[in-house]
Structure 1
Amino acid sequence: MRKKMFSKVLAVLSAMTLGAVLTGCGNESGTSGDTVKVGLLHSLTGSMAISEKSVRDAEVLAIEEINAAGGVLGKKIEYVEEDGASEPSTFATKAEKLIDSEKVATIFGCWTSSSRKAVKPIVEDYDALLWYPVQYEGMESSKNIVYTGAAPNQQIVPAIEYLIEQGYTKFFLLGSDYVFPRTANMIINAQLENAGLEVVGEEYADMDQTDFAAIIAKIESAKPDVIINTLNGTGNVSFFKQMSEKNYTSDDYMTMSFSIAEEEVSTIGSDILQGHLVSWNYYQTTETEKNTAFVEAYKKKYGEDRVTSDPAEAAYDAVYLWKAACEKADSFEVDDVIKAIEEGGISFDAPEGTVAINGENHHLAKPVRIGEVGTDGLIHEVYATEAVDPDPYLTTYDWAVAAGIQPLE
């Protein structure tokens, strides 16, 4: 009897000792010893790699800067990288791997809304946290996502307002066939209808489409004075190069693009894109002291021929905002970090200007900047605002409320 009792006591003591050892090793999300692990999830291959590489690179730059300055809460950041391969289902699988197997404290990732929507239920089911760095169509808010790119009232709506003020009246809507372009065009249709203006055509291309002859023929037939471009990835390269082969320039068909930044200009060519318009919150040419340092550091690490961009800058900001949230929470645990975010007061003196997280909808207050592509391959600001509060559901616009705009899945 004594022998059995001794064995039970020994088992209990062993379990208690093991628990103490595990606690001593660090059981907070993603932490082990002197490091905290985060996940980077971007398309390193496939049609979106052209755009997402710069986003990944900016995140790595931020991580290295933070580590050089002492890390976060005394721990150095270790990153684990996965390739979403430009496929939403792959993004979902890799997100689950990062959370469940790698035990990361947070994920920085995605570009297309399709990839974000594939990852959203994963981070919500696991109560994880995703930092999403790209402008998007809005109509979404999740406690498990921080949206560091523009909401539609910080890019789409002001871009159309700018074009109307410039006297454009006949709009042709061209986008890739997935959720962002279709929802963006739903918003634009409602906005233009409210202004009494005409949409003369609306066309969508597959994500991997390379032949735009039929769509260009429809543009020629419709005779718009501006094309609203929501193509993504390699579709932009094919479309603009085929327009150039017909000797069309911005004088013939002006475009306002929402997914062409400096990286895409570099790939497509400034000779093709010069004079065309884009709408973002940041450009490499943005004049702030923080941006001067950011551009210098980015080029020093990746080469003088590399360019920064709005998504890259928003991704860079995301890492610093996560650091700020962890330090306010004094924890890496997701629930603690989210609570710190929702209490408000998380901000960062970013290259684009000071950005702050709205604790209610997890979007940032950001300035709006309309830019024009120059012959130097850079984008130059032609219009700007102060920081604009995020309105992802466009509840402050009567025409949007009246139109009953709903998110597309």
Structure 2
Amino acid sequence: MPDDLTPPRSAQGEGWRVGVLFSRSGPTGVTESEHFFGTALAIEEINQLGGVLDRPLIPVVHDPKGDIAEYRKLATRMLLEDEVTVVFGCSRSSSRKAVLPVIERNNALLWYCSFYEGFEYSPNVIYTGAVPNQNSVQLAAYLMQNRGTRFYLVGADYIYPRESNRVMRDMVEQHGGEILDEVYLPIEASDVELKEVLTDIRAQQPDVVFSTLVGQSARRFYQLYPEFGLDPKKMPIASLSMAEEEIRLIGPALCEGHITSATYFGSVRNESNQRFQALWRERFGDRPTSTWSEMAYTQVHLFARALQRAGGMDRRKLVEAARTVSFDSPEGLVTVDAENNHCALTPRIGICRADGQFEIAWEASGPVRPDPYLSTFGFSEFWLR
């Protein structure tokens, strides 16, 4: 695994220094490691092709270990001591919000590749992950049309789950559905806490469980689910985050029938994904690709194209250039919206198979423009046929 991404010291003096700030341990260590590997793969690929403007990308890597204070501390260190002005990093909204004042105060640029709850804009951030009109809207429409209208919401107790559940509640209730309960657990929930929720789910018998649990808590929730007699083919867990690597760790047989809404699955069929899969297997073996690794990979390529056009690391010029470039990514064509610094992405709904991959049950006909403030739910536009 690429713990040391640094090119030979002889090349560093003329390289482009970039920060990489993902947790390799802690509550979200699995998914943030996927961010890290996707970032590493793209940097190595770009450098093998000659870098940008004949100069390599020089990664400066720190591991905040899931600690919010460490994100802020290490972001400050990158900008003030490590001579970095561009950072690829953060996964949870809490870590992004922790480093954002540091990024803005130093006029740096953060590339943030996680899907998130939206309702944010900063001239110092390029948001490359999905926002609610690119995953939650489609998921709510699909579930209400295909699985039923009675929802049970369970999430981790921090910004992203609460905001995502607020959006899901509004969409479901405004379109004739019912929220049976909305429960929050600690980020590192115990089995006792998870079993209490599962007992309640068994008693209430919703049509679908919408989970915004994260990390080990989410994986245990899926593992414990069948112990309570809950059948994913009849009462699936629906998620925006449960992807291929975590499914491998849970056990694919336990996940068959559960549903995820994402802009990328390893089973997407296009030439760019075939190439990405080949590069990934050569570098990381049988570890699967996922939405976590793919968007991290994609955003580095978007940055490289912007840097090529801007000719330097000036934040304002890089952002302007990022709004004019595109990348034929493994998920499809990706561009940055000039009005809000979020990306146009292609929504998809996947149903987990017994082999740990996803059967794509629905996908948009093309990239959907980001609407981070969810000015319209757009059910008429996204109602699935």
**Alignment TM-score, normalising by the size of structure 2:** 0.92
| 1:325 alignment partner AA | A
**Which residue does 2:306 correspond to in 1?**
325
Tell me how far apart the structure 1 counterparts of residues 207 and 290 of structure 2 sit (CA, whole Å).
Answer: 27
| 1:327 alignment partner AA | Q
Tell me how far apart the structure 2 counterparts of residues 270 and 331 of structure 1 sit (CA, whole Å).
Answer: 45
Taking the TM superposition and a 5 Å limit, the aligned residue runs for 1:3-402 are 33-211=13-191, 212-303=194-285, 305-341=286-322, 344-385=323-364, 386-397=366-377
1:167 positional shift:
4.5
Tell me how far apart the structure 2 counterparts of residues 269 and 392 of structure 1 sit (CA, whole Å).
Answer: 34
Identity %: 36
1:32 positional shift:
6.1
8 Å Cα contact 1:368/1:384 also seen in 2: yes
Distance 1:224 1:347, change over 3 A: same
| 2:299 alignment partner AA | A
5+ residue gaps in structure 1? 1-30, 400-409
What value does the CA root-mean-square deviation take over the aligned residues? 1.5
Tell me how far apart the structure 2 counterparts of residues 131 and 102 of structure 1 sit (CA, whole Å).
Answer: 17
8 Å Cα contact 1:173/1:228 also seen in 2: yes
Q: Cα deviation per residue 1:204-232 (whole Å; 9 max; x = unaligned)?
A: 11011122111112212221010011111
8 Å Cα contact 1:149/1:311 also seen in 2: no
8 Å Cα contact 2:171/2:377 also seen in 1: no
8 Å Cα contact 2:149/2:176 also seen in 1: no
Tell me how far apart the structure 2 counterparts of residues 43 and 331 of structure 1 sit (CA, whole Å).
Answer: 28
Tell me how far apart the structure 2 counterparts of residues 87 and 215 of structure 1 sit (CA, whole Å).
Answer: 27
1:398 positional shift:
8.0
Tell me how far apart the structure 1 counterparts of residues 338 and 67 of structure 2 sit (CA, whole Å).
Answer: 31
Query: Which runs of at least 4 in structure 1 moved beyond 4 Å after TM superposition?
Result: none
| 1:106 alignment partner AA | V
| 1:254 alignment partner AA | P
Tell me how far apart the structure 2 counterparts of residues 207 and 273 of structure 1 sit (CA, whole Å).
Answer: 21
8 Å Cα contact 1:249/1:272 also seen in 2: no
Q: Cα deviation per residue 1:169-228 (whole Å; 9 max; x = unaligned)?
A: 100001111101100111111111211210001111101112211111221222101001
**Which residue does 1:404 correspond to in 2?**
none
| 1:278 alignment partner AA | T
Tell me how far apart the structure 1 counterparts of residues 374 and 312 of structure 2 sit (CA, whole Å).
Answer: 34
Q: Cα deviation per residue 1:347-394 (whole Å; 9 max; x = unaligned)?
A: 111011110001111111011000011011111211000110000001
Q: Cα deviation per residue 1:238-279 (whole Å; 9 max; x = unaligned)?
A: 111121333433034211111101111111111110011100
Distance 1:74 1:105, change over 3 A: farther
Tell me how far apart the structure 1 counterparts of residues 290 and 147 of structure 2 sit (CA, whole Å).
Answer: 28
| 2:372 alignment partner AA | P
8 Å Cα contact 1:201/1:219 also seen in 2: no
| 1:100 alignment partner AA | L
8 Å Cα contact 2:137/2:377 also seen in 1: no
Q: Cα deviation per residue 1:64-99 (whole Å; 9 max; x = unaligned)?
A: 110011101221011111112112221111111111
8 Å Cα contact 2:46/2:52 also seen in 1: yes
Q: Secondary structure at the match of 2:345?
A: strand
Q: Secondary structure at the match of 2:266?
A: coil
Tell me how far apart the structure 2 counterparts of residues 393 and 256 of structure 1 sit (CA, whole Å).
Answer: 23
5+ residue gaps in structure 2? 1-10, 380-385
Q: Secondary structure at the match of 1:107?
A: strand
Q: Secondary structure at the match of 1:266?
A: helix
**Which residue does 1:18 correspond to in 2?**
none
**Alignment TM-score, normalising by the size of structure 1:** 0.87
Q: Cα deviation per residue 1:19-57 (whole Å; 9 max; x = unaligned)?
A: xxxxxxxxxxxx963211111111111111011111101
- Farther off after superposition, 289-298 or 249-258: 249-258
Q: Cα deviation per residue 1:309-350 (whole Å; 9 max; x = unaligned)?
A: 012111001101111111111112222212323xx3221110
Q: Cα deviation per residue 1:78-130 (whole Å; 9 max; x = unaligned)?
A: 11111121122211111111111111131111111111111111111111111
Q: Cα deviation per residue 1:134-184 (whole Å; 9 max; x = unaligned)?
A: 111001111111111101100111110111121411000011111011001
Distance 1:246 1:396, change over 3 A: closer
Tell me how far apart the structure 2 counterparts of residues 252 and 159 of structure 1 sit (CA, whole Å).
Answer: 17
Distance 1:45 1:376, change over 3 A: same
Tell me how far apart the structure 2 counterparts of residues 389 and 252 of structure 1 sit (CA, whole Å).
Answer: 33
Tell me how far apart the structure 1 counterparts of residues 378 and 40 of structure 2 sit (CA, whole Å).
Answer: 42
Tell me how far apart the structure 1 counterparts of residues 228 and 110 of structure 2 sit (CA, whole Å).
Answer: 43
Q: Which has the larger radius of gyration?
A: 1
